[in-house]
Structure 1
Amino acid sequence: MSIFSKEEAQKLLKKALGYSKADECEVSLNGSEAGNIRYARNAVSTAGEISRLSLSVSSSFGKKTGTATIDEFDDASLEKVVRRSEELAQLAPENPEHMPLLGPQEFPESIGYVAATEAITPDTRAAAVAKSIQVSKDAKLQAAGYLENSTNSLAIMNSKGLFAYNKDTDVIFSITTRNEEGTGSGYAARGFNDVSKLDTFSATKIATAKANGSIGAKAIEPGKYTVILEPVAVAYMLENMFFGLDARNADEGRSFMSKPGGGNRLGEQLMDQKVTIYSDPFHPELPSSTWNREGQLLTKRNWIEKGVVKNLSYSRYWASKKNVDPVPGPGNIIMEGGTESIEDMIKSTEKGVLVSRLWYIRMVDPQTLLLTGLTRDGTFYIENGEIKFPVKNFRFNESPVIMLNNVDALGKPERSISVESYRSYLVPPMKVRDFTFTSLSDAV
């Protein structure tokens, strides 16, 4: 068994902590149970289940800390791993940024656990994939996809009296469909805490429509275009920006949040007024833990509000250096949307490009957050409010910060997965002007 209940975790951590002779000690228990199924060319290729459970001990003497990990939980093994962490701490150099452990905290229970998702069986996964494969066959396409469900638990306890526990579930699904000739490609991805929300049939329908619709793509000139980005493309485009909401990186001149001459952009109007980005551990579509690994409470917090930078995360160390209160980083990311559907955005576009997905995104300039990457899996030319024909894929060079200054319209936020990080975000489709395509790509 890899998933401990709150009571079971508390009992085990208390026992391990009882062996400590360090000035400070923190013990964590991390468990996961996951199952997956993978398929390609309309046939299942692999399937399996993985169970993991480990206990980690961090011991500190003054500013010297050592950490050891074990996956055996008898009394002798628990004492052994505590002693090992203490030995490593005595050998370690002092950490000038060491912060004392936090004392007891109160954390509300998260809403990220769904029993039905934990109860998924190999038969459940096989049935979901069978629906997807049949859709692909009916469309005379080849499908390659992946479905994984997981249940995770994490508990921490320290010698100052802090204890925290979280349990959550997740299910992710991604599907790529292509024709035999390799000239058309479509993609869809879904992620939920609750498996009852997963519909592999409809997701594959979308992917097959993209694949068949992208056959016979024509080349058009690169340049600046009005672009409609579907939610999965938005998630890929904004992910690097979400990772950059940190005060230290900004203060040290290492991010797009750095102010010329020093300091950060807190309080500045950095984006269009339509842009509001926040985190909320109790959002029903994207719940997160209510605490972080430092034992800090996570609450609803605006990061960008109507285009203004309202908050940046401050680690406890950096907050002490700057004489401000610590601000824990986001446990999830949600971007507010609007009322327009993708169809509405297309109808209001005189000339533009519909982008289904972006991929292979790389950083060009951290200071401006300039990114480069490619479109894929269905890119279409729009003229006079209609999709006219599929177009060859583009390479782009664009900054999400500049992009979010050029927002014309937003739609309803959807939970979207970035398969590069396997993180989920709640983001809307968006219509933006002057998006920069720099060259063509022969990829489909």
Structure 2
Amino acid sequence: MAIMTQSEAKALMTRVIGFSKAESIECNLNGEVSGNIRTARNTVSTAGELRDIILTVQSTFGQKTGVATTNEFTDEALESVVSRSEELAKLAPDNPEFMPILGPQDYIDVNTHFQATTDVNPAWRADAADACISVSKEQNLVSSGFLNDSDTFAAIMNSKGLFAYNRSTDINFSATIRTEDGKGSGWVYRDFHDASKMDTREASRIAAQKAVSSADGKAMEPGKYTVIMEPAATVQLLLNMFNNMGQRTADEGRSFLSNKSEEEGAPKNRLGEKMFDERVTIYTDPQSPDAPTPPFAGDGAACQRTDWIKNGVVTNMPNSRYWAEKTGVPYVPTPFAGNGLFGGNTSIIMEGGDESLEDMIKNTRRGVLVTRLWYIRQLDPQSLMYTGLTRDGTFYIEDGEIKYPIKNFRFNESPIIMLNNLEALGKPQRIQGCMIPPMKIRDFTFSSLSDAV
């Protein structure tokens, strides 16, 4: 059993806390049931399932903390992991940034679990993979893809009476479809909490169409262009920006939100400044109908909707309890997104507009349509300048029509500049757990050509 109900998780962690001899103890319980199927060259290559539960115990004496983990839940194993964490705590040095554990919290109701995803089985995955393969074979194309579904739970309990529990499901599918000669490539990605929304055949048709239409791209001169970016082309840039919005790095002069003023008494960060186009609003919301999250942070703090950027103004900055207390500002937690190597992105939501992708194309005299960006790397943390490549379908637009495919570009651009050069926004779409609108952006910088397809 890799998924525990709320009552089962609470009962187990109550047993754990009962073994504690520390001044305080916190338990984290994370369980997962997941399955996947991978395809390559129009056939299934691998498939698998994973089931596991991990208990993490954190014991504290004064400012000394020790952590131990186990996936065995007999009384003997639980007592052993608690004892081990206490031994490690006594050996640890004092933590100068230690913060005591939180007390009970009030959590809002969220809807992150869908039975349709829990019910996904190997036959369902095989049918989903076959739909992609069939679309590819019908057009003499070559496909590869990956589908992963998961049912997870996370629970937190401590000796001060805090208890948090959330169960969540997720399913995601990606496919790359290419022409047989490798000269055309299309790509698509879909993810949902609810597997009943997943249509791998419809998604694969989009990738196939882009593969056919992107073959033999023409070379264009690098430079600044008006670009229409599908959500997959901007989501990672926006996530990178959000992940660099922390208050501490700004206060310490290490981020794009650092205030460089040398005036005495000047704020150390740019909280409250208008830094983006007034149409830019980015927030997190555990109760979002399309991208819900757990209602608590990794430390158990309660989360509600938080505006990070509102009408172009930086309205909140993620911080830690320690840094909030040190600087005398409110603690602003972000929703729990998973632990360790398999932790996900924070589910950010960007408000959009009314234009469809087709409308944006019709209203463009000369520009470039970008399917996605790839191999993104940071060049400068102070300006958030990034470089990377366009991939899997890049097209030239002229007089409101897609004229022909073009060779891919390397870009050098910052999401700060990008969000100040907005011309139009479309309806937000789910991508990588986020809600991101298609965007029309002027003066996007393409620095050189790329031979990638």
TM range (shorter): over 0.9
CA contact (8 A) 2:239 2:348 kept: no
Question: Structure 2 matches for 1:38-437, cutoff 5 A?
Answer: 38-261=38-261, 263-330=268-335, 331-417=346-432, 424-437=433-446
- 2:401 counterpart letter in structure 1: E
Q: Shift in Å at residue 349 of structure 1?
A: 0.9
Which digits, 9 at most, give the CA deviation of each residue in 1:138-177, with x for residues without a partner? 1211010000100011111101111110100000000000
Q: Tell me the distance in 1 between the aligned counterparts of 2:272 and 2:244.
A: 16
Match of 1:9, SS?
helix
Partner of 2:449: 440
CA contact (8 A) 1:236 1:359 kept: no
Q: Tell me the distance in 2 between the aligned counterparts of 1:141 and 1:79.
A: 57
Q: Shift in Å at residue 11 of structure 1?
A: 0.3
Q: Tell me the distance in 2 between the aligned counterparts of 1:314 and 1:338.
A: 30
Q: Tell me the distance in 1 between the aligned counterparts of 2:360 and 2:217.
A: 22
Which digits, 9 at most, give the CA deviation of each residue in 1:89-139, with x for residues without a partner? 011111100000111112133210001111111001111111111111112
Size of the aligned set, in residue pairs, is 438
CA RMSD of aligned residues (A): 0.9
Partner of 1:11: 11
Q: Tell me the distance in 2 between the aligned counterparts of 1:288 and 1:244.
A: 20
Q: Which ranges of structure 2 fall in alignment gaps of 5 or more residues?
A: 262-266, 336-345
CA contact (8 A) 1:351 1:382 kept: yes
Q: Shift in Å at residue 315 of structure 1?
A: 1.1
Q: Shift in Å at residue 324 of structure 1?
A: 1.4
Q: Tell me the distance in 1 between the aligned counterparts of 2:360 and 2:368.
A: 11
Q: Tell me the distance in 2 between the aligned counterparts of 1:69 and 1:254.
A: 34
- 1:264 counterpart letter in structure 2: N
CA contact (8 A) 1:369 1:399 kept: yes
Q: Tell me the distance in 1 between the aligned counterparts of 2:2 and 2:441.
A: 46
- 1:9 counterpart letter in structure 2: A
Runs of 4+ in 1 over 6 A off after TM superposition: none
Q: Shift in Å at residue 236 of structure 1?
A: 2.3
Q: Shift in Å at residue 332 of structure 1?
A: 2.2
CA contact (8 A) 1:246 1:329 kept: no
- 1:377 counterpart letter in structure 2: D
Q: Tell me the distance in 1 between the aligned counterparts of 2:96 and 2:445.
A: 44
- 2:297 counterpart letter in structure 1: N
Give identity over the alignment, percent: 57
Q: Tell me the distance in 2 between the aligned counterparts of 1:399 and 1:222.
A: 17
Which digits, 9 at most, give the CA deviation of each residue in 1:243-296, with x for residues without a partner? 122111111111111111361111111000111111110111100000012111
Q: Tell me the distance in 2 between the aligned counterparts of 1:63 and 1:19.
A: 20
For normalisation by structure 2, the TM-score amounts to: 0.96
CA contact (8 A) 2:108 2:304 kept: no
- 2:387 counterpart letter in structure 1: T
Q: Tell me the distance in 1 between the aligned counterparts of 2:220 and 2:156.
A: 55
Match of 1:232, SS?
helix
For normalisation by structure 1, the TM-score amounts to: 0.97
Q: Shift in Å at residue 425 of structure 1?
A: 1.3
Q: Which ranges of structure 1 fall in alignment gaps of 5 or more residues?
A: 418-423
Which digits, 9 at most, give the CA deviation of each residue in 1:218-263, with x for residues without a partner? 0000000000000111112222112122111111111111111361
CA contact (8 A) 2:109 2:287 kept: no
